[in-house]
Amino acid sequence: MKCLSCQSEKVENFFVLKNAPLQSLITIKTYEEAIAIPKKDITLAFCNNCGFIFNSTFDTSIDYYTQGYEDQQGFSPTWLTYQTGITNRFIDKYGIRGKDIIEIGCGKGDYIQLICKLGNNRGIGIDPSYVSGRSETNPNVTFIKEFYSKKHGELPVDLIVCKHTMEHIYDPYNFVKNIRNWINKDKDIQVFIEVPTIVRILKINAFWDIYTEHCSYFSPGSLARLFRMNNFEILDTYLGYDDQYLYLEAKTSKNTTSQILPLEESVEELKGYVDGFVLKIKEELGKWNKLLLRMKEENEKVVIWGGGSKSVGFLTHFNDLKVISHVVDLNPHMQRNFIPSIGMQYVGPDFLREYKPDKVIIMNRIYKNEIGKMLSQMGLNPELICL
């Protein structure tokens, strides 16, 4: 087995998650279809050479993204405010105004629209799961409903943005190498990457953030090493969104420097986090199991707030307990869909008016205030439990 980021053979498996649904964001309209979603083990492997972590039993034969893939996050005001802030800072830092921007893996197009609007830029979003009419229209932004490929290297570009995409790329080594080889060599091209950070997952045992669509798990160090290896100069790397997300800013460069940035941890340090995770994860799952069983004994009405992969990642471990009755999500395109392999139907917040839950488990603590406010506006005061 070879590392998919640095090609080293110094790779070892360290964690197996049994029977994870193969898809967690696919759009499903019936219970039967939801239950029929196949399951497969996720095997996390660690590279002792570069620190990259990946699912070594990932099934590359599945079409994960073109069969109705629902990942739009822009329905939450907290998310929008956050993204606007981070983007304005980025625009000011590098003078990203009137530029040509390509977003690889643009989803429904929210982000490329945002950065083009804020900096008066021209944009092209590339994504096989793009659906037209789901984001604002701007004559300066166009979309290509395809996977990023060599021919896209001909497109005009000053900046490549790639947000919440690299964690879905099975072979990041070739992905970054290709970007580097395909783009125009005559000028410096900047890149702006956003991915979840594995360091937080390992440190707080965030098992709900491990699911099939995420086959690649980066740390500040492993992501920087990957880009540096492919002749990018790393300009900055930092964390955001309650330290959940990792940012990397880089540019193409003929002479890459070997200067290590403060946030980049060493491979040894990361190995320490991996060992800690292996030691603590069973205990963490046991704690949740006990807590949920107690809620069941007390006949409490328990719902999850926050659909999508995190809820599937969480329920993969505990759905059999039959404690959680509903999953709430703000995205109207998810409501009434059935949750892959779990079988529950997503509901909108309004459902809770009648249902009156005793407990709400919040999949992302950053939304606690927003959710608390919505609940109290509905006259509800359930206990909020944050992951």
**Given the rule CB under 5 A, which residues bind Zn ion?**
3, 5-6, 8, 47, 49-50, 52
CB of 218 to Zn ion, least distance (A): 11
Least distance CB 13 / Zn ion (angstroms): 14
With beta carbons less than 8 A apart as the criterion, state whether 12 and 5 touch. no
Smallest separation (angstroms) from Zn ion to the CB of 271: 12
Residue 104: CB minimum distance to Zn ion, A: 22
**β-sheet bridge partners, residue 39:** 21
Beta strands in the chain (DSSP E): 11-21, 39-47, 53-55, 100-104, 122-126, 141-144, 159-163, 190-196, 216-217, 232-240, 245-252, 302-305, 324-328, 346-347, 359-362, 383-386
Rank residues 49 and 174 by Cβ distance to Zn ion and give the closer one.
49
Closest separation in Å from C-beta 348 to Zn ion: 43
Work out how close the CB of 334 gets to Zn ion at its nearest, in angstroms, rounded to a whole number.
Answer: 36
CB closer to Zn ion out of 174 and 319 = 174
Tokens in use for 3? 């590392």
Based on CB atoms, which residue is closest to Zn ion, 12 or 59? 12
Please give the C-alpha separations between residue 92 and each of 28, 100, 232, 339, in angstroms, as whole numbers. Answer: 42, 16, 21, 40
Q: Which is nearer to Zn ion, 173 or 211 (CB)?
A: 173
Q: State which residue, 218 or 314, has the beta carbon closest to Zn ion.
A: 218
Q: Which is nearer to Zn ion, 47 or 323 (CB)?
A: 47
For residue 236, list its beta bridge partners.
249
Between CA 104 and CA 183 the distance in angstroms is 13
Residue number with CB closer to Zn ion (15 or 241): 15
Close Cβ partners of 262 (under 8 Å, ≥ 6 residues apart): none
**CB burial of residue 254 (10 Å; 0-12, 13-18, 19+):** exposed
At 329, list the tokens: 């999500």
* 8 Å CB contact between 119 and 192: no
CB of 319 to Zn ion, least distance (A): 34
Which residue's structure tokens are 């290896």? Answer: 229
Nearer to Zn ion, 175 or 346 (CB): 175
Burial classification of residue 255, based on how many CB atoms lie within 10 Å of its CB (0-12 exposed, 13-18 middle, 19 or more buried): exposed
**Closest separation between CB of residue 173 and Zn ion, Å?**
8
